[in-house]
Structure 1
Amino acid sequence: MCPCLGITSSLRINRLVEIGAYVDAAGVEVLLPRRYLPTGAAEGQMIDAFVYHDNEGRLIATTLHPLVEVGQVAILTAVNVTRHGAFMQWGIHRDLFVPYAEQSDEIREGYTYLVYAYIDELSGKIVGSTKLSKHLGNVPPLYKPGDKVEIQVYGRNDYGYRVVVDHQHWGMIYYSDISTHLSHGDKSEAYVIRVREDGRLDLSLSAVGYGKIASEAEWLMQLLHKHNGHLPIGDKSSPEKIRSVCKMSKKTFKTAVGMLYKEGRIVIDANFIALKEK
């Protein structure tokens, strides 16, 4: 399999021919048709190109930018539907095929869908999938509170907006942390509030949302120092008790505690938190 398949890469022009040029795709010679060849191109020159299979199954390169590359998620429009699957507009001279077995719901022509692109193990070709849960969240998220991420809206539920984070993970933006409406497929920057035990991320659309949690965390540290390093509230404490002790909601308390715990500043129990001994 060509290592450059499905990813825009910097490729060397090996030789010029009448129909274009052959570029070196990690040891595999791939044709770049003449219509994509920049004026004045020369052998030995490096060029950014995307490698995929043409309609005949041959590897071919293009300098056009596909709407989605392997390992990414993007919103695509269905341009043709057959009994075998759907073809999505890809932004290059070929449509991206989404097999019927890789459709979370039946795709309808003219509608848009969030599609994950990957290389099919059997055919070795680039295909798409709308079964995002099959492809996302398979690696642990290596984020810390305050990190900036790229998100794309997948949908909404009773709690907030479910989003795809950096093409790899699932995240949630709660209605209580947002003042604007988001639509399916919308892209934005967001900030990590916390990494949940299930590997999903709680997010805020503004750094202010994270800053609020950070300030609440520092307030807890002040209270801990004031009370000899121990507060009689924890995960199992009632919202009323938490509010009476630290003047914050249970949700904010748990998020702030999670931040301090991940930073190694406190120890936690079901019914208390305490400063970590140095």
Structure 2
Amino acid sequence: MSLTAGEVRKLKVAREVPPYGYFLSDGMSDVLLHYSEIVGDRPKPGDEVSVFIYHDTEDRLAATMKTPLIRLGELARLRVADVHPRLGCFLEMGLGRQLLLPQSELPERREYRPQPGDELFVMLTHDKAGRLLAKLAREEDLAPKTFAVPAAWRGRWIEGWVTKTLQIGSFVLIDGDVVGFGAYGMIPDAERSRTLRLGERVQARITYIRPDGRANLAMAPRKEVARVEDADRILAFLRERPSGSMPYSDETPADIIKQKFGISKSAFKRALGKLMREGRVTQQGSWTYLSDNDAADGDGKDKPDGGHGREAAANPANPPQPANPLKE
């Protein structure tokens, strides 16, 4: 049986070759175990040692007694150590050397690509020359190791890693913790608060458990909680403005709301509706104004106009008109 990179083999110490290390043999081939790759006491000729086979920097087969994070044909989650703009991602594999995930395995859209510190589920394989190479784990590789999401997890906040990200949404492998390897989930595009990268660790809430045991996820809190948080954000924004008003309302396009407040238009309308029912804001056309009572609770005394700007803003016949809402 020939020596193959990526495998763990038990080999016999054939001889010592100072100042390099030991030659190990399977009876057919020899491979060098460098002194720096020895773990524990140095072996003696005739001893049998368990080693991982890899290629050194000169593409020669070599051996190490260090334990790799992944073996040939296995699946593992590896951390991105570095990203090369043309070659791909270099992954930590636990040996003091890095494993290449080729550029061809990465998403075409750059904003979806991993960054250092992200973690990817990969399989260990060979390139055409027999050297070690990583490839992204596919659904068929991950599925046998996953478990169905328990019904009791509905509404729970979970952590997981993005395994694929598309325009329609991002697929996530939920951290199984003590339950097991992990479970499958998906964050639909409408439930993503931002663009997610392949390998990024995310927090999300389980909104629905499908009959097949997979989960629908959302990055935002429940609507009741989010409505309060969004309303507070809008109120703070209005109070910071000298006029106590803003050129945003139910009529504002969704992309502008998303860019300015980081929330969807539907969430914006829910938050405004809450504030209007409470009598804290009013709307006139495309403008929203603090009510007199709520404006009095703000910091009007510190505003450049001494608070008179709110009086002008309260008159919809003559509101301040910015050139571009996004520059506000």
Q: TM-score, normalised by structure 1?
A: 0.50
| Aligned residues between the structures | 163
Q: Which amino acid aligns with 1:109?
A: P
**CA–CA distance in structure 1, aligned partners of residues 2 and 114 of structure 2:** 30
Percent of aligned positions that are identical:
23
The answer for the alignment partner of 2:77 in structure 1 is 75
The answer for the alignment partner of 1:267 in structure 2 is none
Please give the per-residue CA displacement for 1:29-80, whole angstroms capped at 9, x wherever unaligned.
Answer: 1110012334351112111110101121111111111111111121111111
Q: Which amino acid aligns with 1:108?
A: Q
The answer for the alignment partner of 1:33 in structure 2 is 34
The answer for the alignment partner of 2:101 in structure 1 is 98
The answer for the alignment partner of 2:124 in structure 1 is 117
The answer for the alignment partner of 2:138 in structure 1 is 132
Q: Which amino acid aligns with 2:132?
A: I
How far did residue 98 of structure 1 move?
0.5
**CA–CA distance in structure 1, aligned partners of residues 104 and 17 of structure 2:** 41
Q: Is the 8 A contact 1:73 1:116 kept in 2?
A: yes
**CA–CA distance in structure 2, aligned partners of residues 170 and 54 of structure 1:** 32
Distance 1:119 1:187, change over 3 A: farther
**CA–CA distance in structure 1, aligned partners of residues 152 and 131 of structure 2:** 41
The answer for the alignment partner of 1:13 in structure 2 is 13
How far did residue 132 of structure 1 move?
2.2
How far did residue 5 of structure 1 move?
2.1
How far did residue 178 of structure 1 move?
4.8
RMSD: 3.1
Distance 1:170 1:26, change over 3 A: farther
Greater gyration radius? 2
**CA–CA distance in structure 2, aligned partners of residues 40 and 32 of structure 1:** 11
Name stretches of at least 5 consecutive residues in structure 2 with no aligned partner: 162-172, 185-210, 213-328
Distance 1:25 1:99, change over 3 A: farther
Residue 101 of structure 1 aligns to a residue whose secondary structure is: helix
The answer for the alignment partner of 2:61 in structure 1 is 59
Q: Which amino acid aligns with 2:101?
A: V
Name stretches of at least 5 consecutive residues in structure 1 with no aligned partner: 138-163, 192-200, 203-250, 253-278
Residue 183 of structure 1 aligns to a residue whose secondary structure is: strand
Q: Identify the structure with the greater strand proportion.
A: 1
Q: Is the 8 A contact 1:4 1:25 kept in 2?
A: no
Q: Identify the structure with the greater helix proportion.
A: 2
Q: Which amino acid aligns with 1:31?
A: L
**CA–CA distance in structure 1, aligned partners of residues 27 and 7 of structure 2:** 12
The answer for the alignment partner of 1:86 in structure 2 is 89
How far did residue 107 of structure 1 move?
2.6
**CA–CA distance in structure 2, aligned partners of residues 130 and 60 of structure 1:** 25
**CA–CA distance in structure 1, aligned partners of residues 35 and 2 of structure 2:** 21
**CA–CA distance in structure 2, aligned partners of residues 66 and 176 of structure 1:** 36
How far did residue 17 of structure 1 move?
1.0
Distance 1:111 1:17, change over 3 A: same
Q: Which amino acid aligns with 1:119?
A: H
